[in-house]
DNA sequence: AGCAACCTCCCCAATTAGGGTGATGATAAA
DNA sequence: TTTATCATCACCCTAATTGGGGAGGTTGCT
């Protein structure tokens, strides 16, 4: 029961050393090795994908693959420790992340982990992802009153002024006043702007 | 240079085995071991926190700690493989996650990883987090047309109908028509509802 | 007394929502 | 080929909601 693998990397030297590493362990069969993205005829068990390829980037390649196959595990390979690309790749549907500097010791364990557990993340990537998930504590710069926070939450749940007034047992006009103050503090001029800013900046 | 550690767990037996494990390695000093959350006088280098304690839960304890200390690494311990608690803990500010079943082999490596890299995640937890970040592919149930998607995005960025019309070079009334269709498909009756639904369900 | 948060009310203008109708072109089904 | 269906675009009218401005009050804290 060998594991079939496709490799996408524009760097021929790295591709060779990947192939050698996988060969050495004896548990893998490389069924494809490409210097750019090519839609495969048959899906392998695992895909290794360089994030930074000329032409179609690794991230775009992941999107293309995910458009017709949601399951095949894709491990991204990168020299970067750069967060935007990593988060983009994860959101596009990559299932794991391996920094190139740690390939020699971690490639085979990572692939096994991926098959056993469904994902693999190097700790530094895990840190990045955890940070991006945590509510940014810095953003307490708007100093809303508790009433304003409350009303902003109601607004973000799609309630009209009327519904908020009824729900909080205050008058319609009072709701309007609070919302005016919220707009001033958020520097916005409409409910949709306020809602999108509140959700995206994790104020709620 | 020993590493100081606090342990919070209501299970005395587990607490003891944690202490023994840490003792054995000789690199750690347990400066506190509690069966419930107590605000520590001095911060240790690392905190181990059971997620499921009576009284103040581990998640609430993380929130309390994070309210005055953003940096101390907190590793959550749990028997559960249950996603909601795990994601909650991460959002509350936990920096790592360890399943209790793998404590014996992974506790010490995880702590070292945490100190070296700033985070540690067991692969199954990593999988969960990755899945929660990826756009839910199931939710393609609304079958928006491409124009509708486009307009929904503009709306979510806080644009008024006028701005959308100008930006897309179509008439105001056409924008309205599309938005009516979007509301029908999303089953909402206002822009704020549409925006919050779109953002929360990752439609954009 | 001064201040801030919270509440109330007013007016007016702008925007948004709900109900239609109708034309076009592209695509699929009969 | 004709008939549907759908997306796109456009317009009408009316009603409801929202946004911007102002003028007041109460309460509690300093």
CA neighbours closer than 13 Å in the CB half-sphere of residue A68:
8
Give whole-number Cα distances, B81 to A187, B46, B77, B86, B98, in Å.
Answer: 42, 23, 11, 8, 10
By three-state DSSP, how is residue B117 classified?
A: helix
**Contact positions of strand D to protein Cβ (< 7 A):** 6-12, 17-23
Cβ pair B130:A121 closer than 8 A: yes
Paired tokens of B151: 């307009």
Distance between CA B114 and CA A36 in Å, rounded?
A: 36
Distance between CA A97 and CA A99 in Å, rounded?
A: 7
User: Which residues touch A162 (CB under 8 Å, ≥6 apart)?
Assistant: A172
Are residues B174 and B104 part of one domain? no
Are residues B81 and B62 part of one domain? yes
Boundary residue ending a domain (B106, B129, B152): B129
* Whether A133 contacts chain B with CB within 8 A: yes
Which candidate from B113, B159, B192 shows the least CB-CB separation from A123? B113
Cβ pair A121:B117 closer than 8 A: no
Distance between CA B203 and CA A74 in Å, rounded?
A: 23
Asked if the model's pLDDT at residue B138 lies above 70, the reply is: no
Are residues A27 and A72 part of one domain? yes
Are residues B51 and B82 part of one domain? yes
pLDDT tens digit sequence for B53-80: 999 999 999 999 998 898 999 999 988 7
Assign A140 a pLDDT band (cuts: 50, 70, 90).
Answer: low
Count structural domains, chain B.
2
Instruction: Please name the residues between 43 and 72 in chain A that touch chain B, using a CB distance below 8 Å.
Output: 66, 70
pLDDT tens digit sequence for A157-176: 999 999 999 999 999 999 99
Q: What angle do CA B98, B99, B102 make, to 5 degrees?
A: 100
Instruction: From B36, B31, B41, select the one nearest B5 (Cα to Cα).
Output: B31
Query: What average pLDDT does this structure show over B80-96?
Result: 85
Q: Which residue is nearest to nucleotide C6 (CA to C1')?
A: A147
What per-residue confidence (pLDDT) applies to A139?
Answer: 52
Assign B187 a pLDDT band (cuts: 50, 70, 90).
Answer: very high
The DSSP secondary-structure symbol of B2 reads: P
Asked if the model's pLDDT at residue B173 lies above 70, the reply is: yes
Are residues B85 and B13 part of one domain? yes
Boundary residue ending a domain (B108, B129, B150): B129
User: Which residues touch B42 (CB under 8 Å, ≥6 apart)?
Assistant: B31
User: For residue B121, what are the β-bridge partners?
Assistant: B97
pTM comes to 0.78
In the block, residue with structure tokens 């503009």: B154
Instruction: Please name the residues between 161 and 200 in chain A that touch chain B, using a CB distance below 8 Å.
Output: 188, 190-197, 199-200
- CA of residue A175 to C1' of nucleotide C12, angstroms: 19
Are residues B161 and B77 part of one domain? no
Paired tokens of A23: 């060969």
Instruction: From A101, A2, A106, select the one nearest A46 (Cα to Cα).
Output: A2
Residue B119 sits in a domain of what CATH number?
Answer: 3.40.50.2300
Give chain A's count of helices (H) and strands (E). Answer: 9, 6
3-state secondary structure A40-101: CCCCCCEEEEECCCCCCCHHHHHHHHHHHCCCCCEEEEECCCCHHHHHHHHHHCCCEEEEHH
Asked if the model's pLDDT at residue A59 lies above 60, the reply is: yes
**Is B136 or A82 the better-scoring residue by pLDDT?**
A82
Cβ burial of A117 (10 Å; 0-12, 13-18, 19+) is middle
Are residues A117 and A51 part of one domain? yes
What per-residue confidence (pLDDT) applies to B128?
Answer: 86
User: B47, B65 in Cβ contact below 8 A?
Assistant: yes
Distance between CA A94 and CA A65 in Å, rounded?
A: 10
What per-residue confidence (pLDDT) applies to B82?
Answer: 75
Distance from CA of A14 to the nearest CA of B (A): 25
Give whole-number Cα distances, A113 to A82, A124, B77, B107, in Å.
Answer: 23, 17, 20, 18
Which candidate from A121, A190, A193 shows the least CB-CB separation from B121? A121
Query: What average pLDDT is seen over chain A?
Result: 90
- CA of residue B71 to C1' of nucleotide D2, angstroms: 72
Q: Which range (A129-143, A184-198, B135-149) has the least confidence?
A: A129-143
In the block, residue with structure tokens 């290794």: A48
Boundary residue ending a domain (A101, A129, A157): A129
What per-residue confidence (pLDDT) applies to A126?
Answer: 87
User: A142, A183 in Cβ contact below 8 A?
Assistant: no
What per-residue confidence (pLDDT) applies to A137?
Answer: 56
pLDDT tens digit sequence for A91-122: 889 999 998 988 999 999 999 999 998 899 88
B157 is near strand C: CB distance < 7 Å:
no
Q: What angle do CA A10, A11, A12 make, to 5 degrees?
A: 105
Distance between CA A203 and CA A153 in Å, rounded?
A: 9
What per-residue confidence (pLDDT) applies to B132?
Answer: 84
Are residues A170 and A184 part of one domain? yes
Are residues B23 and B67 part of one domain? yes
User: For residue A77, what are the β-bridge partners?
Assistant: A50, A98
* Whether A115 contacts chain B with CB within 8 A: no
* Whether A151 contacts chain B with CB within 8 A: no
Q: Which residues of B touch A123 (CB under 8 A)?
A: 113-114, 116-121
User: Which residues touch B166 (CB under 8 Å, ≥6 apart)?
Assistant: none
> Looking at chain B, which residue has its C-alpha nearest residue A201?
B199
Query: What average pLDDT does this structure show over A38-65?
Result: 92
By three-state DSSP, how is residue B135 classified?
A: coil
What per-residue confidence (pLDDT) applies to B80?
Answer: 73
User: For residue B78, what are the β-bridge partners?
Assistant: B99
> Looking at chain B, which residue has its C-alpha nearest residue A135?
B91
**Contact positions of strand C to protein Cβ (< 7 A):** 5-10, 15-22
Are residues A123 and A62 part of one domain? yes
Domain that holds residue B178: 133-200
Asked if the model's pLDDT at residue B166 lies above 60, the reply is: yes
Distance from CA of A53 to the nearest CA of B (A): 22
Cβ pair A196:B200 closer than 8 A: no
Q: Which residues of B touch A138 (CB under 8 A)?
A: none
Query: What average pLDDT is seen over chain B?
Result: 91
By three-state DSSP, how is residue A172 classified?
A: helix
Asked if the model's pLDDT at residue B136 lies above 80, the reply is: no
Asked if the model's pLDDT at residue A81 lies above 80, the reply is: no
Instruction: From B129, B50, B170, select the one nearest A90 (Cα to Cα).
Output: B129
Are residues A148 and A112 part of one domain? no
Assign A18 a pLDDT band (cuts: 50, 70, 90).
Answer: very high
pLDDT tens digit sequence for A25-41: 999 999 999 999 998 88
What per-residue confidence (pLDDT) applies to A27?
Answer: 94
What per-residue confidence (pLDDT) applies to B131?
Answer: 86
Distance between CA A130 and CA A107 in Å, rounded?
A: 23
Residue B183 sits in a domain of what CATH number?
Answer: 1.10.10.10
User: A54, A34 in Cβ contact below 8 A?
Assistant: no
Q: What angle do CA A45, A49, A55 make, to 5 degrees?
A: 135
Are residues A29 and A118 part of one domain? yes
């Amino acid at each position: 029961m060998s594991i079939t693998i496709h490799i996408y990397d524009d760097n021929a030297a790295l591709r060779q050393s990947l192939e050698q590493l996988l060969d050495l362990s004896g548990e893998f069969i490389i069924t494809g090795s490409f210097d750019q993205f090519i839609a495969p005829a048959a899906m392998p068990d695992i895909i290794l994908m360089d994030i930074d390829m000329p032409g179609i980037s690794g991230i775009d390649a992941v999107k293309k693959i995910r458009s017709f196959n949601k399951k095949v595990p894709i491990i991204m390979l990168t020299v970067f420790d750069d967060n935007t690309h990593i988060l983009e790749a994860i959101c596009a549907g990559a299932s794991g992340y391996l920094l190139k500097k740690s390939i020699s010791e971690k490639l085979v364990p990572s692939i096994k982990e991926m098959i056993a557990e469904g994902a693999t993340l190097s700790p530094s990537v895990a840190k990045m992802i955890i940070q991006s998930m945590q509510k940014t504590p810095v953003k307490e710069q708007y100093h809303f009153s508790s009433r304003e926070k409350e009303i902003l939450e109601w607004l973000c749940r799609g309630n009209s002024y009327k519904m908020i007034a009824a729900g909080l047992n205050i008058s319609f006009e009072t709701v309007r006043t609070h919302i005016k103050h919220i707009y001033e503090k958020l520097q916005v001029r409409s409910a949709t702007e306020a809602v999108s800013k509140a959700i995206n900046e994790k104020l709620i």
